Amino acid sequence: MRISEKRAAVNAKSLLPTAVSTSLSALAGAVVLSLGVASAPAMAEGVTIDDLMNDQATTDDIVTYGLGPRGQRYSPLDTLNKENIKNLFPVWSFSFGGEKQRGQESQPIIKDGVMYVTGSYSRIWAIDIATGEELWQYDARLPEGILPCCDVINRGAAILGDKVFFGTLDAKIVALNAETGKVVWRKTIANYEDGYSYTAAPLIVPTEAHGPLIVTGNSGGEFGIVGQVEARNPDTGDLVWTRPVIEGHMGTLNGEESTMTGTANETWPGDMYKNGGGATWLGGTYDPDTKLVFFGTGNPAPWNSHLRPGDNKWSASRIAINPEDGEIAWGFQTTPHDGWDYDGVNEFISFDMEKDGQTVKAGATADRNGFFYVLDRTNGDFISATPFVQNISWAKGIDENGRPIWDPENRPGNPAESADGKKGKSIFAVPSFLGGKNWMPMAYSQDTQMFYIPSNEWGMDIWNEPITYKKGAAYLGAGFTIKPIFDDYIGSLKAMDPATGEVKWEYRNKAPLWGGVLTTAGGLVFTGTPEGYLKAFDAETGEELWKFQTGTGIVSSPVTWEQDGEQWVAITTGWGGAVPLWGGEVAKVVSYLNQGGSVWAFKIPKQLALK
């Protein structure tokens, strides 16, 4: 049965969605307003590249990861605001079902009354927004022996034309028919047996030479893989170009070798670059002004930095790529010669910054190393770096060129210099390797001109060990234990002015914050907590205005859109991700949190939006 037929059949029933609310008045309103039966919306004729580029301005859908190619996660919707947020109520909850719970980090895609949402173990659903009814499900058949580093998560899908695209844990990308869920094509990104996987939402960008391209990275930095960005034809899945991010490796264009990344052995000794890491595991953003794709790159491999003297480009970096040919336009390394696993993958968000009476074409990133960087997005020039977490110890600061001022006593010791050659000097470093901010995306408000950064205050004991590369095996050469640095909180949501580096307000959370942020023209900031709450804050002051308990921890990114004149909010729920697996003492502190797997949809009806 086609989606349009199934949706019509579902809506023909007298369905009353279960409504749960945080107040009796809202509950009463929910019951009354749910009595109406929505008519079946028509299927989309096809999502265009212009739809993707204009996603932030069009409020009746969400067709990109990040609510626009720049990834600002800002919505111009203001129907839901500080005055009426108390009237936001849940309409339905859809369970991902079965025993496949684990971490749920997906951001939904919304188009013409249909939600496309991915889940753990490489699954994806199409859901009727009006009813919460499943329209179709695709479950990737994963092989034995996959090697995901940090839980079996998936962060979302992409959409173009009549196809929905998403990646799988065995390092493949799949194109599905958006109406039926049937496979159109399936391509291999890399060999999962070598340690590769894929967890990010694909990025679709325009080009003059090739038309729209679907751009992906790769995961697996802890297994000595080589980070790479690649672009494919969305109709066929055929490769157009590839760009390895570690120097000494060759890119390709139209099936032939193109250029080498960097210069061989300029910043890597010997053959270390061949398994140099730099996984591009979070995906990228695109800036229509400069027509550049921005990707972050992960840690160099192995973690033991004494085995690879030099800056180790382009690991732990932000790079700008020309999508026409896959050439690197510029690079900026946030942690040269990384020795703490400070991946540089965190999203690079384009924005226009007013400073000293001028408008600067800027981009910002909150790095795992604890510093918030502002760069010139046209050329990668350094503008500023400000700490956004407390007690940073690995570096004394950032110099005028953007390079860290290292504290030599706070680099883990060389095991070759120890008495037995088995363990180097252990040091306590802040932040921990899970970062001042990890994967969870921040948001930028065009109204307040502030960034809202989900962060964590923690440190780690870390030491180096001898290691040799073995294909498909962990390639660390380090040991570690993560510890909180404050007794009363770990998670911290901060509002930061990028022009001054000033933190305007802070919300502190007992457990680590591991979910993304959304901000709106209604003066709201949304995020979720591991304790299970979806929360809304005043964007100007940080005052908590509303919360709803979803029943399991939230480690995903909220979205908002308008449908039939009403503003909706959705969030995927399900505790998991890297913290329970890698968190050391922190993982013990939050071991009581329960797993789950659902997506919740909320709305503020017209009748309550005016109150």
DSSP secondary structure of 398-466: E-TTS-EEE-GGGSPPPGGGSSSSS-PPPEEESS-TT-SS-SS--EE-TTT--EEEEEE-EEEEEEE--
Q: pLDDT band for 35, please (50, 70, 90 cuts).
A: very low
**Given a cut of 50, is residue 197 above it in pLDDT?**
yes
User: How do the domains of the chain map onto residue ranges?
Assistant: 3-588+595-609
- Residues that are catalytic: 341
Q: What distance in Å separates the CA atoms of residue 444 and residue 436, rounded to the nearest whole number?
A: 18
**Tokens 């400069």 — which residue?**
290
* CA pair distance 492, 226, nearest whole angstrom: 33
Terminal CA-CA length for the chain: 41
Task: Count CA atoms closer than 13 A to 258's CA, side-chain side.
Answer: 17
* Distance separating alpha carbons of residues 580 and 331, to the nearest angstrom: 33
Question: Residue 611: what pLDDT?
Answer: 56
**Is residue 16 predicted with pLDDT exceeding 90?**
no
Q: Which of 175, 98, 191, 99 is nearest to 138 (CA)?
A: 175
Q: What is the Cβ-side half-sphere exposure of residue 340, based on CA atoms within 13 angstroms?
A: 32
Report the distance separating Cα 558 and Cα 548, nearest Å. Answer: 13
pLDDT of 44 > 80? The answer is: no
**Helix, strand, or coil (residue 373):** strand
The yes-or-no verdict on residue 26 having pLDDT over 70 is no
pLDDT tens for each residue of 413-448: 999 999 898 999 999 999 999 999 999 999 999 999
Q: Taking the alpha carbons of 561, 345, 263, 311 in that order, is the dihedral positive or negative?
A: positive
Kind of pairing, strands 517-520 and 74-75? parallel
With tokens 């058949």, the residue in question is 141
Q: Phi, psi (5° rounding) for residue 173? A: -120, 135
CATH 3.40.50.800 fits 3-588+595-609, yes or no: no
Statement: residue 251 has pLDDT above 60: yes
Task: List the structure tokens of 269.
Answer: 């000794």
**CB contact at 8 A, 491 and 510:** yes
Q: What is the pLDDT of residue 8?
A: 46
At 577, the amino acid letter reads: G
pLDDT in tens, 65-89: 999 999 999 999 999 999 999 999 9
* pLDDT above 50 for 43: no
Closest by alpha carbon to 512, among 404, 434, 430? 434
With cut-offs at 50, 70 and 90, classify the pLDDT of residue 14: very low
Provide the 10 A C-beta neighbour count for residue 422: 10
Cis peptide upstream of residue 302 (ω within 30 degrees of 0): yes
Residue 139's SS3 state is strand
The per-residue pLDDT of the chain, averaged, comes to 91
- Residue 99: pLDDT band (50, 70, 90) is low
Q: What is the pLDDT of residues 581-598, one digit of tens each?
A: 777 787 777 777 778 889
The CA angle 344-106-326, to the nearest 5 degrees, is 45
Q: Concatenated DSSP letters for 183-227?
A: EEEEEESS-GGGT-B--SPPEEE--TTTSSEEEE--B-GGGT-B-
pLDDT at residue 596, as a whole number: 83
pLDDT of 1 strictly over 70: no
SS3 421: coil
Residue 266 has a CB neighbour count (10 Å cut-off) of: 12
Interacting residues of 130 by C-beta distance below 8 A, sequence separation 6+: 7, 11, 38, 41, 113
Q: What angle do CA 27, 32, 34 make, to 5 degrees?
A: 95
